[in-house]
Each structure stands twice: as C-alpha cells, then as structure tokens.
Structure 1
Amino acid sequence: MSGNIPSDIEWRCESGQVPYREALDRMEVRNRAIAAGEARELIWSLEHPPVYTAGTSAAAAEMLDPRFEVVEAGRGGRYTYHGPGQRIGYVLLDLNRRGKDVRCFVHAIEGWVIDTLADFGVDAWRAEGRIGIWTRDIDGSEAKIGAIGVRVRRWVTMHGFAVNLAPDLSHFAGIVPCGIAEYGVTSLERLGIAVAPDEWDKALEARAPGFLDGLARACGVKR
C-alpha cells in the first residue's frame, strides 16, 4: 500500500500487460465485493495488449478496420483503442460514501489526469462537447491525449481513463476514436516527452489525494 493513498483504497500497479477480458472480469468481481462491503476500493494502473473496446454508444460505422479483437466493454462512450504504451487507470470507488454524482466523479478524474500531465510539462484541458483530455499536437492542432469512460453499478464505479504515453498511434486508425473524427490523437512521446509507466504511476499517485479531496468537495461530502 502506498503512503499517499488512504488505507481504505488499494493502489495497484501492474508491470506486465493484462488482457482486456481478464481485466473486465476482475473489475466485475471487485465491483460486487466493494458494493457488499467485502473489499476495499481500488485504483488500478495497467496496460493491455492491443484491443478495440466498444462502449454502449458505439456505432458500427465507426469501426473502420477491426485488425484487433473487439470487446464489448459495458462502459459509456463509443469505440476506443487500448494497447502497449498506453497507461490505463481503472477507478473503483464507492459513490455511496463519496457522493452519488457521476458528473462530479468524471470531472474529478479529468482534473486528476490534467494535473498529472502538467507535472510532465503538458498543457491539457477539457473541451466542451468532446469527451476526453485534449492538448496541442506538434503541428499546433488540438488532439486527444487521454480518454475517459466510466460505468457505475450499485453506485460503485468501474473503468476510468487511458493516457497515451507512447502507444503506436497508427493503431487508432482502425476506429473513429470516441466517435470524434475531426481531431487527431497524440501522445507524450509524439510531443517529445519520454515518460516510463512507473514514472507516470508515481506522478498519478502523488496527485491522488487531490483527486479524492476535489471529488469530496464537489459532491459536498465531508472527509
């Protein structure tokens, strides 16, 4: 357990790749255990082998080239790509005790990722009407550097966010990422910033107390 994370939350970082279907199964089990009061909440950082995931709003026309396995994710949103070089953060929190406000939860996650990117010199932001985390690409255009997708069951959250450290960006060409065709996808590597997975995890962990405090304030919950 990390010293930065409250004792009622497990902080788990995987050094190897976890197959997407396996991660889904493990989240489902943990979600039920948290809801039943039988397990701690969980923040889980990992990577997947290449996979396309379909959210509940995914449109068939946005699957352009299914070169990798396509998995129904059960989360909100449309098609996304996950693969090596992309760091995933799965956030399983009990909103029964942290505030039953999914909008606040998503906003808090976005702020957490934006603040962590800032620690590596990346100016990132939310964009009105567009899901995800955005930044300025090397050609000056606006591009997505992080994706957000959550599911809430029994008021316990699942899924979370993905940040592009150094993935193969050509793999995104198989889909219309999150249903947004007008903008590209970028990464820290493309921006000239080398960040190892463990470096990202440590920075994310350091920002976790701020994420939890911000969520509590936004939901009006006393901590």
Structure 2
Amino acid sequence: MHSRRAITMTQFSKEIIWRRDKMLRAYPDALHYMEAKAKDIHLGKTAEELWLTEHPPLFTAGTSAKKEDLLNPQHYPTYHAGRGGQWTYHGPGQRIVYVMLDLKQPHGLVPARDIRAYVKGLEQWIILTLSRFGIEAFTREDRIGVWCIDPISHQETKIAALGIRLSRWVSWHGISLNVAPALDDFSGIIPCGIRDYGVTSLERFHHTIRMDDVDHALLSTWPKIFGSIPKAA
C-alpha cells in the first residue's frame, strides 16, 4: 500500500532545479541565459529551473511600458525586457526569481497551457511565502502584483511584482520580491504604471530580515502550489 502511494505521487512529479547567485548579476547576462534555457527546455535538453538572483540598480521596460512613466533621476541603466507589463525597478536587496517551466505540462495546482492559472499560481506562491513572515498579502483585480498594508504608512503598498514571457509555452522572467531594497530608487519610475500607490519591503516588517530566510521560504512553499520539490543544481 505504501509503495503504491509513492509511485502515484512521483508519477506526476517533474524535475526542477534551483540555483542562487552569490553576486549581483548583470541584466543582459540574465536575458541571454533565460532565452537559451527556454529553448533547451522546449527541446527537452534540460530540466526546468528556478533562478534566484539580484541585479545592480536598473529599470526594465515591459511590452506595455510608457515613456512618460520613466523618470530616472538617478540615471540608472534601462533595458527592454521583452516580458509583459510596464516599468519595473530591480536592485540589490530585491529577490528576483526567474521561473523557467514547460507550461505544456501541468504543475501542481496549475493546469497545462493555462496562462491565467500560471500567473495566479505565482501570486499565490508569493502570498504563501509572505505568510511565513506574518505578512498578510493579497491581490487586487484592478492592479497587478502582490500587495499588503505597510506597517508604517498603514496604506496599501506593493511588495512584489510579476512579469512573464512565454516562448513555445516555456515561461521565463518571473517575480521580484522586495526584501530590503533602497525604496527611494522606485521613485525613478511609476511602478507598473500605477501612480496612486507606493512600494514597501519585508524589511519594514522585520528589520533584521535575511535574504537566506526569504529564499528558504520561497523554496519550501513552491511545492504547495507547483507540485515538484526543487533540487539544488
């Protein structure tokens, strides 16, 4: 009975690896890697992957980005990301997770070939991760991203952003979670085109938050939404 159950559980599991950068990653290098990785996943040459990284301060433009939403008084580099969405800031203290999956196959609670379910899965993954730190996060139908009530301003503020791209049903790009970034840097854009709300970070809830703690929470909550347990590369 026990062995039969084990076979049933592993029958639907997919191998997914995770890796984490120890240094800041140049954004063009990340784009190049993800594009090549997506092709290899499509061809069945490599496993799916979660890539945890950080970037130097920069702004990226999605396919819906508007010039008037880029202010950039800091004169940070800007890049066309090719993902969906508008302007996004990346910088040290922000956990980027690039999610490269073959969406022609189901993943846990996410059915095959269902983009909306995939986006919802990413949102629920972030929300579940934040709950590990006692943060009640949520989504809004009229706004993209993941939101919470800032502990200082007591206003709704954005704590995480999403941006995805699909190539032959293989996903790339992913999520950005504000752990302890320089929040003033967000003043260089209208984040995701939303002018009436600010941004926040885990650090405002927990002053001694560590990136390692956040990474552990992200990796441990992943299977609850997407099924497979990530393995270190």
TM-score w.r.t. length of structure 1: 0.91
Show the counterpart of 2:181: 167
Deviation at 1:189, TM superposition (A): 1.1
Show the counterpart of 2:196: 182
Show the counterpart of 2:101: 93
Query: Conserved in 2, the CA contact under 8 Å of 1:188 and 1:194?
Result: no
1:57 to 44, 52, 64: 64
Distance 1:189 1:80 in 2: 19
Taking the TM superposition and a 5 Å limit, the aligned residue runs for 1:22-171 are 22-65=29-72, 67-98=75-106, 99-137=112-150, 138-171=152-185
Letter matched to residue 91 of structure 2: G
Distance 1:163 1:7 in 2: 25
Task: Report Cα offsets for 1:9-38 as digits up to 9, x if no partner.
Answer: 111111211111111100001000000111
Give 1 or 2 for the bigger CA radius of gyration: 2
Distance 2:185 2:168 in 1: 34
Deviation at 1:7, TM superposition (A): 6.2
User: Gapped runs of 5+ residues in structure 1?
Assistant: 1-5, 215-223
Distance 1:118 1:52 in 2: 28
Letter matched to residue 136 of structure 1: I
Distance 1:75 1:195 in 2: 29
Do structure 1's residue 195 and structure 2's residue 198 form an aligned pair? no
Deviation at 1:194, TM superposition (A): 2.9
- Name the % identity: 46
Query: What is the root-mean-square deviation in Å for CA atoms of aligned residues?
Result: 1.3
Distance 2:206 2:119 in 1: 28
TM-score w.r.t. length of structure 2: 0.87
Distance 2:191 2:85 in 1: 10
Query: Conserved in 2, the CA contact under 8 Å of 1:56 and 1:78?
Result: yes
Show the counterpart of 2:21: 14
Instruction: List 4+ stretches of structure 1 deviating above 6 A.
Output: none
Letter matched to residue 222 of structure 2: A
Compared CA separation, residues 105 and 74, structure 1 to 2 (3 A): same
